[in-house]
């Protein structure tokens, strides 16, 4: 356990009374936007899905090397680690994810992705529909700004290019590869995520739990097959599974305290082959979202109890009880360290004004950035929301969500805001240490 954490953050908080703290040069960042927007478009047009980020990682590595970072490639998959040591001071981890999604783009933008890939035996498109292209470009823009302002900060900047966020594996892959053992345990960790509901030019911060534990659970429902015209000779797993779907909804409505939060969604029912055949097996595919270990444990217990109870009521014998498959690996809930949120929100205020720094509510989406703060070292971390919605979409109310084939950001305004806010936060944290 490292005991500097709370003291360090409190000292950072006091640093805002220091009139000598440096502020970013907004003109320097603005002048870099044309270059960064072209970089963004290039990344957007060449998306690579989880575990296949080879060319994307190579491009980002080249950018970091040109700035003087020591770069380690292929770390935990296609992960990259860029290190800039700049004297004695704190170590700050700044992470971006790199992977895209296997889906066609339907935006009709001039620079839209037209890439076609093979995925699960089928041809489909590939698209940065979760904003990771914005994340990467902002990350590079911040690296460029911090390299140009080396005379204004002291410490070590640890730039993490992470693969496989969309499948919830990348952060674990890098940590398991020895990220902290090889490069040192950071004093703080920061990151951002594109928001499909916050206007470009604004940012959002939340304290405590801001994103949920995210896990995929399968329920294999067994039965006795028969002819569709003779249902009395079957124990129909389609009907049994349907009853389970309805009963599962009572977990949140009747088993959970009203002040707690959880989501139990059945996203798919798979079973059967033909209209007139009652199958002997059906699979339910669930996504489960929770915040606390206690609620997660209770939801797991009730899923198992409901599955077994409905199966017994259907008349199934013990050897045909449902199998509830809960993988050991899941995406943990993201927790933003409150004191560090205060520091970064104040930094953002300096750059874009208080009116553009919003309080964000917790959401049930998941992000494996959470893992960087959940090792035994308990590194204070913050993942903030970067507004990306173009002005015309804000006015019209046409704001497609993340993972939509119609989602797109306002590149220039989003990236300029992200680089400015993140760079200022890094400067303040580096300079606030020990004030």
By DSSP bridging, strand 155-162 and strand 91-97 are: parallel
Task: Read off the pLDDT band of 6 (50, 70, 90).
Answer: very low
| Tens digits of residue pLDDT in 59-101 | 999 999 999 999 999 999 999 999 999 999 999 999 999 999 9
Assign 3-class secondary structure to the chain: CCCHHHHHHHHHHHHHHCCCCCCCCHHHHHHHHHHHHHHHHHHHHCCCECCCCHHHHHHHHHHHHHCCCEEECCCCCCCEEEEEEECCCCEEEEEEECCEECCCCCCCCCCCCCCEEEECCEEEECECCCCHHHHHHHHHHHHHHHHHCHHHCCEEEEEEEECCCCCCCHHHHHHHCCHHHHHCCCCEEEEEEEEEEEECCCEEECCEECCCEEEEEEEEEECECEECCCHHHCECHHHHHHHHHHHHCHHHHHHCCCCCCEEEEEEEEEECCCCCEECCEEEEEEEEEECCHHHHHHHHHHHHHHHHHHHHHCCCCHHHCCEEECCCCCECCCEECHHHHHHHHHHHHHHHCHHHEEECCCCCCCCHHHHHHCCCCCCCEEEEEEEEECHHHHHHCCCCCCCCCCCCCCHHHHHHHHHHHHHHHHHHHHHHCCC
Q: What is the pLDDT of residues 10-66, one digit of tens each?
A: 444 443 345 568 999 999 999 999 999 999 999 999 999 999 999 999 999 999 999
- Per residue in 246-274, pLDDT (tens digit) is 999 999 999 999 999 999 999 999 999 99
Average pLDDT of the segment spanning 289-294? 97
- For the domain covering 4-211+334-432, report its CATH number: 3.40.630.10
Q: For residues 277 and 275, give the distance between their C-alpha atoms in angstroms, rounded to a whole number.
A: 6
Domains in the chain: boundaries:
4-211+334-432, 213-325
In CATH, the number for domain 213-325 is 3.30.70.360
Arithmetic mean of pLDDT over the chain: 95
**Is residue 312 pLDDT above 70, yes or no?**
yes
Kindly state the percentage of the chain with pLDDT values over 90: 94
Whether pTM exceeds 0.85: yes
Give me the helix-helix angle, 237-248 and 293-313, nearest 10°.
150
Q: What is the pLDDT of residues 352-390, one digit of tens each?
A: 999 999 999 999 999 999 999 999 999 999 999 999 999
pLDDT score of 16: 39
Measured on CA atoms in the order 391, 393, 397, 399, is the torsion positive or negative? negative
Mean pLDDT of 124-150: 98
């Amino acid at each position: 356990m490292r005991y500097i954490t709370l003291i360090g953050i409190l000292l950072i908080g006091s640093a805002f009374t220091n009139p000598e703290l440096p502020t970013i040069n907004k003109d320097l960042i603005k002048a870099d936007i044309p270059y960064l927007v072209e970089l963004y478009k290039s990344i957007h047009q060449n998306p690579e899905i989880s575990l296949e980020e080879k060319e994307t990682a190579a491009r980002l590595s080249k950018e970091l090397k040109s700035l003087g970072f020591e770069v380690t490639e292929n770390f935990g998959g296609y992960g990259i680690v860029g290190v800039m040591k700049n004297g004695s001071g704190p170590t700050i981890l700044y992470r971006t994810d790199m992977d895209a999604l296997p889906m066609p783009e339907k935006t009709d933008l001039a620079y839209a992705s037209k890439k076609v890939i093979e995925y699960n035996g089928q041809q489909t498109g590939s698209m940065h529909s979760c904003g990771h292209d914005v994340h990467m470009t902002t990350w590079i823009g911040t690296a460029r700004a911090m390299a140009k302002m080396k005379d204004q900060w002291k410490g070590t900047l640890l730039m993490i290019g992470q693969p496989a966020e969309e499948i919830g594996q990348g952060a674990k892959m890098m940590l398991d590869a020895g990220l902290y053992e090889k490069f040192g345990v950071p004093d703080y960790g920061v990151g951002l995520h594109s928001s499909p509901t916050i206007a470009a030019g604004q940012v959002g911060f939340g304290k405590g739990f801001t994103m949920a534990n995210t896990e995929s659970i399968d329920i294999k429902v067994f039965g006795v097959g028969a002819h569709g015209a003779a249902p009395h000779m079957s124990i129909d797993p389609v009907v049994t599974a349907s009853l389970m779907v309805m009963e599962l909804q009572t977990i949140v409505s009747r088993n959970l305290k009203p002040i707690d939060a959880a989501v139990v969604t059945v996203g798919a029912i798979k079973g059967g082959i033909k209209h007139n055949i009652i199958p002997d097996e059906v699979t339910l595919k669930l996504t489960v979202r929770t915040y606390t270990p206690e609620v997660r444990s209770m939801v797991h217990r009730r899923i198992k109890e409901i599955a077994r109870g409905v199966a017994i009521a259907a008349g199934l014998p013990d050897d045909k009880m449902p199998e509830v498959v809960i993988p050991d690996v899941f995406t943990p809930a993201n927790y933003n360290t409150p004191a560090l949120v205060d520091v970064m929100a104040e930094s953002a205020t300096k750059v874009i004004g208080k009116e553009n720094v919003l309080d964000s509510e917790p959401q049930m989406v998941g992000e494996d950035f959470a893992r960087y703060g959940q090792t035994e070292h308990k590194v204070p971390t913050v993942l903030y929301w970067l507004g990306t919605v173009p002005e015309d979409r804000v006015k019209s109310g046409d704001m497609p969500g993340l993972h939509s084939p119609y989602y797109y950001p306002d590149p220039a305004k989003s990236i300029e805001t992200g680089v400015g806010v993140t760079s200022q936060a890094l400067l303040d944290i580096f300079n606030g240490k020990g004030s």
